[in-house]
Amino acid sequence: MRNRGVLTIISGFSGVGKGTLVKALLDKYDNYALSVSATTRMPRPGETDGINYFFIRKEEFEEKIQNGAFLEYARYVDNYYGTPREYVEQQLEAGKDVLLEIEIQGARQIKKLLPEAFTIFIMPPDAVTLKERLVGRNTETMEVIEARLCRASEEAEGIEWYDSVLVNDNLEKSVEALHGLIQAAHCDTFRNKDFIKDIRKGVKAFSEGE
Ligand code: 5GP
């Protein structure tokens, strides 16, 4: 078997601390590559083009959709978000564990395309903490916060669909748990249906005396 990286999808409510968690994971271990998404939303203060997102116009985004440049894309609270295909494929091929920080519609598209992808949903310790974090980060208007909380409530319906759920109550602990889950996914051949088929065929052949 080729030593391909594990494609990991990390989802979670807006304000749950996914970004901080992923950054801490990247700082601590060098086997990960983070996919930078394209979006049509405006940069927040402190966000840099090419690092946090590729900030592009709606027309450019739609052209990229037409050209098949995205592995997946979705609309989220009035904006487009999409995963550039090429980077993800290159990094997986190079053996890196690729992290996608995306929402559930995109996660479902990827899982259909690549069933071996590993999906994790990050949870807040409780709902009150979520609202406090979202309001406290002071980067969105109250109207956008309300829309994001509404979206969180919809997303809550999809949590059981994920392979794993991680409660982010302590950064250091959560980074280790996330790392452990992804590394364990390397050994979890159950998600790699082709591998299972090959082994099954091989074992059957042995049993028939070949
Ligand atoms: P934010 O505007 O807070 O940065 O992101 C809003 C939501 O879009 C988050 O749930 C984030 O995970 C998701 N998101 C970011 N990039 C992508 C992407 O490339 N594809 C999809 N489907 N969702 C994304």
Q: Report the atom number in ligand 1 closest to the C-alpha of 82.
A: 19
What separation in Å is there between the alpha carbon of 49 and the centre of ligand 1? 15
User: How sure is the predictor about 27, in pLDDT bands with cuts at 50, 70 and 90?
Assistant: very high
Query: Rounded distance, CA 182 to CA 31, Å?
Result: 11
- What integer pLDDT is reported at residue 37 of this predicted model? 98
Query: Rounded distance, CA 122 to CA 9, Å?
Result: 11
pLDDT (tens digit, 9 = 90+) per residue, 63-92? 999 999 999 999 998 899 999 999 999 999
State both tokens at 171. 């950064």
Query: Rounded distance, CA 82 to CA 73, Å?
Result: 4
Percentages of the chain per state (helix, strand, coil), in multiples of 5? 50, 20, 30
- Is it the case that residue 40 has pLDDT exceeding 90? yes
- CA-nearest of 15, 9, 8, 10 to 152 is 15
| 72 close to ligand 1 (CB < 6 Angstrom) | yes
pLDDT (tens digit, 9 = 90+) per residue, 92-148? 999 999 999 999 999 999 999 998 899 999 998 888 888 888 788 788 888 888 888
Q: What is the largest CA-CA distance in the chain?
A: 70
Q: Report the atom number in ligand 1 closest to the C-alpha of 10.
A: 12
- What integer pLDDT is reported at residue 179 of this predicted model? 97
| 83 close to ligand 1 (CB < 6 Angstrom) | yes
Q: Report the atom number in ligand 1 closest to the C-alpha of 109.
A: 22
Q: Report the atom number in ligand 1 closest to the C-alpha of 35.
A: 19
Query: Rounded distance, CA 69 to CA 173, Å?
Result: 36
Q: Is 96 within 8 Å of 33 (Cβ atoms)?
A: yes
Mutation pick for ligand 1 pocket among 76, 83, 141, 149 (CB with most ligand atoms within 8 Å):
76
Query: Rounded distance, CA 101 to CA 118, Å?
Result: 12
What separation in Å is there between the alpha carbon of 191 and the centre of ligand 1? 24
